[in-house]
């Protein structure tokens, strides 16, 4: 079992829809959770950063962490064609051991006008 | 604009040739990283450096070497390129390597084709 699982999609939604992107993980030591957005032929850029469980909102984006289920989500409200990109989840452990980020493989999202 | 500069943007290379991908950051970040990104495999860490003068191996280090002579530069060298090293290479940096400081800033990538 991979440490981080992410459905690669592709996911296609109409403009204005609510999008839900998800990752599951197996390592209970993960405490720091990130979402990166990657446009075609560009480098990933940080979208959201959360620590431990709970929700974090930034404009149309909400990141949710459920540590009991080892499940994280990114919600996009009122999706726009400019949200079309690949979304990568990433996570980092705390405590002893390597702090290197572990990435999901990414979900490709297309928002259709 | 502060950030990471990678060069070249793209390159076609004959197998067996030596190639160095350059990476420079101007954010005074302590930690730097090299990833490769392949379809279906996602981002995989090649090498990293937690601070100038130190380097470490990531998930897929074979066939690659790095050096970190100063804070700003982190070149990646392919000593003798093979077709399986065809990929998009991303350099990244972070303020530190510890939790909370290890949020990555990525460069735009270097697309390498080995024939």
Looking only at the bridges linking them, the beta strands covering A85-93 and A102-103 are antiparallel
The answer to whether A46 contacts B104, with C-beta atoms less than 8 Å apart, is yes
How many percent of chain A have pLDDT more than 90? 78
The DSSP bridge pattern shows strands A85-93 and B64-66 to be: unpaired
Percent with pLDDT over 70 in chain A: 96
pLDDT greater than 90 at residue A2: no
Terminal alpha carbon distance of chain A? 37
Return the percentage of chain B with pLDDT > 90, whole number: 90
Is the pLDDT at B104 greater than 80? The verdict is yes
Pair type for strands B76-78 and B19-25: antiparallel
Among A89-98, B24-33, B37-46, which stretch is predicted with the lowest mean pLDDT? A89-98
CB distance from B108 to chain A under 8 Å? yes
Sign of the C-alpha dihedral computed for residues B74, B10, A106 and A81 taken in this order: positive
Does the pLDDT value for residue B28 go beyond 70?
yes
At residue A96, the pLDDT reads 59
Quote the mean pLDDT of chain B. Answer: 95
Q: Mean pLDDT, to the nearest integer, of B6-23?
A: 97
Residue written as tokens 């090293």?
B85
With 70 as the cut, is the pLDDT of residue B64 above it? yes
- Collect all residues with Cβ–Cβ distance below 8 Å to A110 and sequence separation of at least 6: A10, A11, A12, A13, A84
B103 touches chain A (CB under 8 A): yes
pLDDT of B88 strictly over 70: yes
**Cα distance between residue B101 and residue B54, in whole Å:** 18
Which position has the token pair 């064609």?
A81
* Average pLDDT, rounded, for chain A: 93
A74, A47 contact by CB (below 8 A): yes
Answer for the pair B107, B58: CB distance below 8 angstroms, yes or no: no
pLDDT digits (tens, 9 = 90+) for A37-69: 999 999 999 999 998 888 999 999 999 999 999
B48/B31 Cα distance (integer angstroms): 7
CA distances from B59 to B1, B27, B39, B84 (A): 31, 26, 17, 15
> What is the side-by-side order of every strand in the sheet holding B64-66?
B4-7, B19-25, B76-78, B64-66
Nearest CA in chain B to A35: B103
Query: B39 and chain A: CB distance < 8 Å anywhere?
Result: no
Give the confidence band of B98 by pLDDT, cuts at 50, 70, 90. confident
A41 neighbourhood in chain B, CB within 8 Å = 109
pLDDT of B75 strictly over 80 = yes
| Whether residue B85 has a cis bond before it, omega within 30° of 0 | no
Average pLDDT for residues A9-32, to the nearest whole number?
95
* Whether residue A95 has pLDDT greater than 70: no
**CA B78 from centre of chain:** 11
Task: Name the percent of chain B lying above pLDDT 70.
Answer: 99
Contacts of B104 in chain A (CB under 8 A): 36, 44, 46, 90, 101
What local confidence, expressed as pLDDT, does residue B102 receive?
A: 84
């Amino acid at each position: 079992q991979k440490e981080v699982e992410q459905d690669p999609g592709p996911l296609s939604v109409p403009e204005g829809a609510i999008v839900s992107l998800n990752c599951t993980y197996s390592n209970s030591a993960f405490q720091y959770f990130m979402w990166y957005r990657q446009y075609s032929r560009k480098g990933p850029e940080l979208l959201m950063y959360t620590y431990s469980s709970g929700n974090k909102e930034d404009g149309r984006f909400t990141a949710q962490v459920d540590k009991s289920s080892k499940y994280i989500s990114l919600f996009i409200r009122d999706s726009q064609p400019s949200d079309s990109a690949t979304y990568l989840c990433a996570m980092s452990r705390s405590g002893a051991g390597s702090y290197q980020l572990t990435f999901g493989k990414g979900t490709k999202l297309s928002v259709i006008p | 604009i502060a950030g990471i500069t990678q060069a070249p943007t793209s390159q076609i290379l004959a197998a067996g040739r030596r190639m160095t991908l350059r990476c420079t950051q101007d954010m005074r970040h302590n930690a730097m990283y090299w990833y490769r990104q392949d379809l279906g495999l996602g981002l995989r860490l090649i090498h990293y450096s937690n601070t100038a003068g130190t380097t470490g191996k990531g998930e897929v280090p074979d066939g690659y070497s790095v050096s970190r002579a100063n804070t700003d530069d982190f070149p990646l060298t392919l000593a003798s390129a093979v077709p399986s090293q065809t990929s998009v290479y991303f350099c990244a940096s972070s303020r530190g390597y510890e939790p909370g400081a290890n949020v990555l800033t990525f460069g735009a990538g270097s697309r390498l084709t080995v024939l």
